[in-house]
Amino acid sequence: MNTTTTKAPETAGAAKLPNYDVAGAVKPTNWVNIVAWVVLILIGISAVANVFTNPRWNWDVVFTYLFDEQIFGGLGRTILLTFAAGAAGLVAGLVVGLMNMSKSPALRVIALAYIGFIRAIPALVLILVLYFLSALFPVIGFGLPLMDPLISVPTNTILSQFGAAMLGLAMIVAGHTAEIIRGGIMSVAKGQTEAARALSIPRGQAFGRIVLPQAIRVTIPAFATELITLFKNTSLVSVIGYAELLTVAQNIYGRTYETLPLLTVACIWYLLLTILAMIGQSRLEKRFGRGY
């Protein structure tokens, strides 16, 4: 049985569409990208060649002190200071951030005053003021105002080298963290809270299980950056003589006059621990970013 097909008549005067060969289209050459890669490769080759051919780096001295016992001691104190100041700063920052979002005007004024103070005072100045605070307040008393203190403690006992360093860095982290937390909470849609109220979920439970996990996901990059910055800012406490990594390196090259090799040792350890922190940040982002 023969079948015949009929071709629909073409409309007179209809415009014929051009036949574009999309698959065979040639992408334009991105000369900016090519030049950037060439410059990057040349800089990399120059840097590597300088590192391996310049004898002034004194790599034998660098590797001698890289795993030195004194360097390890300073590195351990740096890590301890980072964790102590970071933990205290994050907790205090959460409190200040919630105060800043409170409906109470008094709490908001206190939070804003604290954040403004931290923004205005350089970190180095704050650490020095805390360390020399005993010149202004030799004794710290606890009790009711205008009455004899119930407990009196010498200021130098509390604000020792470690105490002043930890407190100063924690105060800085708290001021920055408060704004990070506020931004993270504000990024969560108000409909989430309204839905929780419609389901009769208590406010605290709704905040802890609905709002806070979503805010943490948003604030992880900022938190990680703040902690990495804190780790590097521990070098500021060398001005008060606390024996962290940089102070130990300075003490060694003050005796041996090997300034650049000892600073290279400190930079290597700062770089390695920063890379580990960035890897941890990436893992956290993947964990809290599931489902998004």
Q: Which residue from 253, 256, 254, 249 is spatially nearest to 270, judged by alpha carbons? A: 249
Q: What's the confidence (pLDDT) of residue 102?
A: 85
Q: Tokens 């002190």 — which residue?
A: 65
Q: What's the confidence (pLDDT) of residue 103?
A: 85
**Integer angstrom CA distances of residue 40 from 31, 35, 43, 53, 54:** 14, 9, 5, 20, 21
Are 247 and 238 in contact by the 8 Å Cβ rule? The answer is yes
Residues in the chain: 292
pLDDT by residue for the chain (292 residues), tens only, comes to: 455 555 555 555 556 666 666 555 556 667 888 889 999 999 999 988 888 888 888 888 889 998 999 999 999 999 999 999 999 999 999 899 889 888 889 999 999 999 999 999 999 999 999 999 888 888 877 777 767 777 777 888 888 889 899 999 999 999 999 999 888 888 887 787 778 788 878 877 887 778 877 888 888 888 888 889 999 889 899 888 888 999 999 999 989 888 899 999 999 999 999 999 888 888 887 877 666 6
Check the CA dihedral 57-256-236-231 and report its sign: positive
Amino acid at 66: L
Q: Write down the pTM of the prediction.
A: 0.78
Residue 14 backbone zone (phi > 0: left; psi -120 to 50: alpha; other: beta): beta
Q: What's the confidence (pLDDT) of residue 89?
A: 92
Please state, in angstroms and rounded to a whole number, the distance separating the CA atoms of residues 142 and 152. 6
Are 230 and 173 in contact by the 8 Å Cβ rule? The answer is yes
